[in-house]
Every structure is written in structure tokens, then in C-alpha cells.
Amino acid sequence: MKNAKELINSTYESQKKWMEKHYPDHVQNAYNDSDLGTLITGLEEQMANYIDFQYTDELGELIYGYSEETPLLRAKQINTGTPLTEEEKEVLRAHIIEEELINFGGTDMVNPCTYVEITFGKINLFSVYYGLIEGQGGYNPAFVGIFENLEDAKLELAKHGYFINDHVPDHSPSAMELRQALFEQWLTNKNLLFLKSE
């Protein structure tokens, strides 16, 4: 490699080979270096599992909540296989993400992301990793690539799954907030239908 630009633009294999030559302990260093965020892998597959196999909670109630006001007909339709709307999928997606983060390290979906600061000549670069938690405090980082800046690294990580930036407050609505909005939308639609029928 002649310069940092060439290294950044090179293939994954070339970058990996370069790291092994110039930073032979880079994977070990990824254990102790800087946190970048959290990557949740397999989210769409897990959503498909919830929809296809339904766990102990009935899917309709999981999406709409448990109360006397739960839209029972819609919940029952979902429980008997009616496809989810995009809004209902968002509630399910948020629910799974929250469950995975609560069980951090207990599944094969939550991957901490770290980086190691490296140099090429006088140019500072970032070598980035993600991997599963294994056992008590264990971490199995996998090399992702070399990046000019951490923003580029985050964009690449997002191609591998659902990336959560741990350094920026997460303003994504919770499953509870999405569920409430969905329920309010259902109530509004129900009232509109009632008014039309009068």
C-alpha cells in the first residue's frame, strides 16, 4: 500500500492482511479499546420467527397490548395469521430490540462494536470490529474494516444489521409508545367508521 487512501479503498482481505502485518495484536486490542455502539444482527429473521411460530404471548396482544380496550378483532386476526401492517411491524421490531438489549449477551443477536486507532504514516485511521458476548465478560470481535472516520464505519456496520449508536441519545420510539400510537390510530378509525354509519 502506497498511502492511507489506497488502504481504505482496498479489499477486505487486503486490509486484514495489512492489519496482521502492521498490527498483529489488533483483534486482542479490540477487546480493550473504544466502544462504538451495538449491532443487532438477525432482526428480520427474528421478526419472521415471531410471525410464523408465535411465542408464548399471542402476537396480536404483544402488538396491541393487554387491556379491556385492546382491539380484540384485530388482535385475533393477527393471531390467526393475517399479515401485519407496516406500523404493526414497527411495534414488533421495537419490542424485539428492547428484549435483546435487556438480555444483552444472552442471545446471538447483540454484538458490541469497538474500534482501534491506527496510523498509516502520519494519517490516523480506525480499525473496526463487532462480535458476540461469550460467557462472563467474553467478547469475540470480528474485523470489519479500516475507515478514515467513525461515521463511515457506522454506515458500514448498518449494512450488517440494526446499528445503535451508543454515543448519541436514542430518540427512537419505544415499543410502548409505538403500541399506544397504533392503538390511538385504531380508536380514531373506529370512531370515524361509527360516525359514517350514523
Q: Give the pLDDT confidence of 85-129 residue by residue, as tens digits.
A: 998 998 899 888 888 888 775 678 888 899 999 999 999 999 999
Contact 163, 113 (CB under 8 A): yes
Please tell me whether residue 186 adopts helix, strand or coil conformation: helix
Using CA atoms in the order 115, 117, 120, 121, what is the torsion angle rounded to 10 degrees? Answer: 180
Q: Does residue 138 sit in helix, strand or coil?
A: strand
Give the pLDDT of residue 5.
Answer: 94
Grid look-up 457506522 returns 154
What contacts 168, CB < 8 A, 6 or more positions away? none
Distance CA 23, CA 27 (A): 9
Q: Is the confidence at residue 68, as pLDDT, over 70?
A: no
Query: What is the mean predicted confidence (pLDDT) over 134-160?
Result: 89
